[in-house]
Amino acid sequence: MEHHLTTTRRAGLWPALLHALRPHWAVALLLGPLALYLLVFYLLPLAGVLQQSLFSPDFTLEHYANLWRHPVYLKVLLNTLEISFWATTAAVLLGYPLAYGMTFFGPAWRTLLMAAVTLPFWISVLVRTYSWMIILGRFGVVNSLLQWTGLTQAPLELMYNRCGVYLSLTYVLLPYAVLPMHSVMLGIDRNLLRAADSLGSSPLQRLCRVFLPLSLPGVAAAFLLTFIVGAGTFVTPTLTGGPRETVIAMSINSQLEIVNDWAFAGVLSVVLLLTVMLLFALCLRFMGLESLFGSKPGGHSGPRASRRGLRATLMTRLMHWGAERWLDSCETIHLQWTRRTTQLFEALACRLPQGLRRVPWGLWGLRTICALGAAYLILPLGVILPIAFSNDTILRFPPQTVGLGLFKSFFSSGPWMRATMNSLRVAAPVMLLATVLGTLAAMGIARLKGAARQTAYGLFISPLVLPAIINAVAMYFFMAKLKLIGTITGLVLAHTVLAVPFVIIVMTTTLHGLDHGLEQASHSLGAGRLRTFAHVTLPLIRPGLLTAAIFAFIASFDELIVALFISGARSTTLPKQMWDGIRDQMDPVIAAVAAGLIILAVALMAVTGFVRRRGNGAARPEVADSRRH
């Protein structure tokens, strides 16, 4: 009898154990494909860069010693940090009013500002930098306007110096600064602002004493994220800067392209990688991923959440203390300025008609600032369109003729058409592969909790934060060993690593808002996992799935840095062909190509918005139909 009971207990142990391990196996199967892919084509190439800097062929630190023996490279590193710091500061200062306006304005203004901020994300950095080359060039918009008004007699040198780098890089970095601040501002309790109003505070006092301290975590997150992106920038300083604006990414490229020193290129890559990892660790430690990307991968709970919240609170208090000291030092000047301006405005208001006295000038001032910020983001892209629809053989603004000559030259050119087809041949499989891997991983992340969820999410989106030049160098070393340099296959494998983070961010946010009660109801009615996914989950996530696929396509189609390193003569992509045209002869056909990419981005944005709006209304009826069946 005792033997029978023991056998029964053992027989019941395995089903119980399998039932307990089933969720973990499901998560492993969902995360496994992407984790394995990133291990092979992301982490191993990065380890290869470190190995290349330490072994030549035996272990040595000689290459790192050369970094300190030649002061020019230390100067380049400091130059990189200086350019990134000032461009980041300008982007945060310009982005704060935009984020503030996106938080408090009505639907029409919010839509306009959000479109202006997100549009640059759909357009490659090369096209955005090219637009500023047109604006700041000798025959560009600024010089043409200055000479037409008679303010200058000769063109000003606005390009190939620090001025050109700051103007163009601030434009490139501005969206990275706006979105994290906007994400934090949305979470500020409006009751605190109403309480400040009820206590008699002015709008300026409410902004400085209440709203600004509460939004400081978003400002810090925006500054760190934007600084990381600026520190790894390559395209913008290369095209708009001069020899004095050399940054570390340009030095890495020159070591491979001119000097052919792989080991020292690895050393510079490791230095840049360590700098970025340190800054990214600060972001994760004090702010969390939610503040960086506005996504919702889920947070910690319990003591760990308390510790992270305490760190964020301490940092916020430190920043608040600095802001308080600055405000207190300006208090006297502020009171004097307020008293004098109040007297001036009262004197002017007495002479205004009764209707104009009721106009909320503060609100209109904020709207004016936001409108100028939106124009700053949109107009540089609009400058390309008139030049594209012309027959001029010289790049100038305004164009002297109108026509489709540049587009005809593009479609009749063999190299341009081959480059376009190569980009499509790369982007199509990247879209499919990245969407499948990223969606499975996002579903796995949704089933994790606490630190495991944050770790998986941070690892999978890290290629988005890592400077593109480091990924390019790592892929170059790795693909050279696999003999995939100059092949479409090598580009597809490399671009998938860069496209997956976009899918992760979109799908994680989509799955976070999913009503899991519908899936549980489907299971309770007898439907299996596959049938539940096909008839319940898929209709709910279809808008996000299409959005993620479009983002993956754009990320591959517009990618330049990796293509510069691993594409060959037969696998030249469209951005690589544009880069060669800008660097060699400033071909006017590039304006037609850039205009086509802008129109494509706007069309894809419109399609994405339409699909998401339609999906929100159509998903529920489809779920209801699946329940009836």
- From 445-454, 460-469, 493-502, the region with the lowest mean pLDDT: 445-454
- On the question of pLDDT at 480 being above 50, the answer is yes
Kindly provide the b/e burial profile for residues 4-13, where b requires at least 16 CB atoms within 10 angstroms of the residue's own CB: eeeeeeeeee
Q: Which residue has the tokens 């159509």?
A: 618
d(CA 573, CA 363): 47
Prior bond of 575 cis (ω within 30°): no
pLDDT given at position 617: 56
Does residue 10 or residue 255 have the better pLDDT? 255
Mean predicted confidence (pLDDT) in 195-199: 80
Outline where 119-234 has alpha helix (H).
125-136, 141-149, 162-185, 190-198, 203-206, 212-231
Q: Which residues are paired to 59 by β-bridges?
A: 55
Mean predicted confidence (pLDDT) in 390-403: 79
Q: Which residue has the tokens 């709008």?
A: 203
d(CA 593, CA 578): 8
pLDDT given at position 344: 52
d(CA 522, CA 626): 9
Listing DSSP states for 336-348 in one string gives HHHHHHHHHHHHH
pLDDT given at position 528: 66
| DSSP-derived 3-state class of residue 432 | helix
Backbone angles phi, psi at 59, to 5 degrees: -65, 130
How do residues 88-105 score in pLDDT, each as one tens digit? 999 999 999 999 888 888
Outline where 105-161 has alpha helix (H).
107-118, 125-136, 141-149
Please count the other Cβ atoms lying within 10 Å of the Cβ belonging to residue 197: 13
How do residues 597-606 score in pLDDT, each as one tens digit? 888 888 888 8
Structure tokens at 318: 């430190």
How many Å from the N-terminal Cα to the C-terminal Cα in the chain? 49
Mean pLDDT of the chain: 78
Kindly provide the b/e burial profile for residues 256-282, where b requires at least 16 CB atoms within 10 angstroms of the residue's own CB: beeeeebbbbbbbbbbbbebbeebbee
Per domain, the residue ranges of the chain are 33-52+66-297+311-329+360-628
d(CA 316, CA 215): 9
- On the question of pLDDT at 326 being above 60, the answer is no
pLDDT given at position 347: 54
- On the question of pLDDT at 164 being above 50, the answer is yes
- From 18-27, 135-144, 224-233, the region with the lowest mean pLDDT: 18-27
Does residue 434 or residue 156 have the better pLDDT? 434
- On the question of pLDDT at 41 being above 70, the answer is yes
pLDDT given at position 615: 61
Confidence category of residue 312, pLDDT binned at 50, 70, 90: very low
d(CA 469, CA 251): 10
CATH fit for domain 33-52+66-297+311-329+360-628, picks 1.10.10.10, 1.10.3720.10, 3.20.20.80, 3.40.50.800: 1.10.3720.10
How do residues 545-597 score in pLDDT, each as one tens digit? 888 999 999 999 989 999 988 988 788 999 999 998 888 767 788 888 988 88
Mean predicted confidence (pLDDT) in 417-440: 94
d(CA 402, CA 390): 4
Residue type, 359: V
